[in-house]
Amino acid sequence: MLAAAIDPSVAAEMVRQANGSASASSATNGDLQTIAVADNATNAAADNRESRDPFTVSKIMTSGRAPAAGVPDAGTAQAIARDLLSARGFGDDQYSCLVSLWNKESHWNVAAHNVGSGAYGIPQALPGSKMASAGADWETNPATQITWGLGYITSRYQTPCGAWASSQERGWY
């Protein structure tokens, strides 16, 4: 937020809210640091209120938003997934949803096996042999599993965030 765009009385109110007092009535447009602190405190308070609001929590869960994922290390399964998503025209928001989804499902373990259901691999294909349609090396190759998983996700949920939202709602995707 630019201080030049803030009315001094608004800035003073922001500082009062941040400090919890009326002593900030002399705030001016040049008081950038104080205003920034006030603005951050106001935003944090709003974020805190939203996090306790059941409607907002439900809206976030169904919106498909996931925690932002960082840039993966080169050569990792997550780096492969990011490249494959990018090639399909998806951005970092969809990558973050995919990271959250597959962290939950398999922790990105190419050999993850659910003994209860028989699901296998990074995307937890059920049965795992379905991934053979993406390559004969489906049991050991993360790129093959990710390719199959992205195909499954786009055919059923359109986007990784759609799959993530479904997983959050039902516990599986």
Counted domains in the chain: 2
State which residues form the domain around 34: 3-52
Q: Is residue 7 part of a domain?
A: yes
* 94 and 165 fall within a common domain: yes
One-character DSSP codes across the chain: --GGGS-HHHHHHHHHHHHTSSTTTT--TT-HHHHHHHHHHHHHHHHHHHHH-HHHHHHHHHHT--PPP-PPPTTSHHHHHHHHHHHTT--HHHHHHHHHHHHHHTTT-TT-B-TTT--BTTTTBSSGGGGGGG-TTTTT-HHHHHHHHHHHHHHHTSSHHHHHHHHHHHS--
Please check whether residue 127 is in contact with residue 120, taking contact to mean a CB–CB distance below 8 angstroms: yes
Predicted structure pTM score: 0.61
* 98 and 41 fall within a common domain: no
Which residues on neighbouring strands pair with residue 120, listed in sequence order? 113, 125
pLDDT above 70 coverage of the chain, percent: 63
Q: Given pLDDT bands bounded at 50, 70 and 90, which one contains residue 13?
A: very low
Q: Is residue 57 part of a domain?
A: no
Model confidence at 69: pLDDT above 70: yes
Q: Is residue 71 part of a domain?
A: no
* 157 and 100 fall within a common domain: yes
Q: Is residue 136 part of a domain?
A: yes
* 86 and 155 fall within a common domain: yes
* 81 and 164 fall within a common domain: yes
Q: Given pLDDT bands bounded at 50, 70 and 90, which one contains residue 112?
A: very high
Average pLDDT over residues 44-56: 36
